[in-house]
Amino acid sequence: MLTDVLVEGLERYRIGPKVRDLRSSKSMGLAQLGDHTGLSAGMLSKIERSQVVPTLPTLLRIAMVFGVGLEHFFDDGDAPVLEVIRAKNRIKLPNRTDKMPAFFFESLDFPVNDRPIEAYLAEFVPRVDHTEPHQHKGIELIYVISGEVEVQIHDTAHHLTTRDSMYFESDYPHSYKCAGDDRATAIVVSAAGCD
């Protein structure tokens, strides 16, 4: 049984409609395609209507009939990138596992390949030391949704409160910590620098 996350991930490839388009382009009926693939017309109909996800060997049988490779079914083509990431499908991860984490983060854009940014929902834990300083090429933006967050960079502590934001070059060591008595939440976006 496929989970909702897997079903949503497979839907973007539109495998069923691509099979139907190939069959229609050759003016072939379901029974004819069944004769060539050894699959029943009923099974092919379910595949075309995205009620069944075909296995790779099954998909390869269909591909061979039309002289296309498997990549035909997994190419997004020129379709615009659009992903909806449901809150219930995000996974909350700690920033470290060896001791008490300073914050937890959830990727807000994980299914998108080759994305120019990485966006996270971060939850900062009170009464925990700064994260280990880290650095990476590019820029970072933090927007505080609730609570207080301290960002340490260039030997300076920057105190941010609700609705404050901060933009900085992330090539320099920086770290975070919750600066209040209650948990803080923020959106953190990082992007590689442009040359």
Q: How far apart are CA 183 and CA 15, in angstroms?
A: 44
Which one of 3.40.50.720, 3.50.50.60, 2.60.120.10, 3.40.630.30 gives the CATH number of domain 87-191? 2.60.120.10
Q: How far apart are CA 38 and CA 33, in angstroms?
A: 8
Residues 13-66 have pLDDT tens digits of: 889 999 999 898 888 899 989 888 889 999 999 999 988 889 999 998 898 888
The residue behind tokens 């900085």 is 168
> Has residue 97 got a pLDDT over 60?
no
Q: What's the residue count for the chain?
A: 195
Average pLDDT score over residue span 161-178: 96
> Has residue 181 got a pLDDT over 60?
yes
Q: State the pLDDT at residue 172.
A: 96
Q: State the pLDDT at residue 79.
A: 62
| Residue predicted with more confidence, 177 or 92 | 177
What proportion of the chain, given as a percentage, has pLDDT over 90? 43
Residue 78 amino acid letter: D
Residue spans per domain, the chain = 4-74, 87-191
Sheet containing 103-107: order of strands = 93-94, 103-107, 117-124, 184-191, 139-146, 165-169
Q: State the pLDDT at residue 170.
A: 94
* Range ranked top by mean pLDDT from 34-43, 46-55, 92-101, 146-155: 146-155
Q: Which residues contact 62 (CB under 8 A, 6 or more apart)?
A: 19, 22, 33, 37, 39, 44, 47, 54
Contact present, 191 and 117 (Cβ < 8 Å): yes
Q: Which of 30-34, 98-102, 172-176, 187-191 has the lowest mean pLDDT?
A: 98-102
Q: State the pLDDT at residue 107.
A: 86
CATH topology for 4-74 is 434 Repressor (Amino-terminal Domain) (1.10.260)
Contact present, 16 and 48 (Cβ < 8 Å): yes
Contact present, 111 and 86 (Cβ < 8 Å): no
pLDDT grade for 95, boundaries at 50, 70 and 90 = confident
Task: Provide the sign of the torsion angle of the four alpha carbons 159, 164, 165, 166, taken in this order.
Answer: negative
Q: How far apart are CA 93 and CA 170, in angstroms?
A: 21
Q: State the pLDDT at residue 131.
A: 82
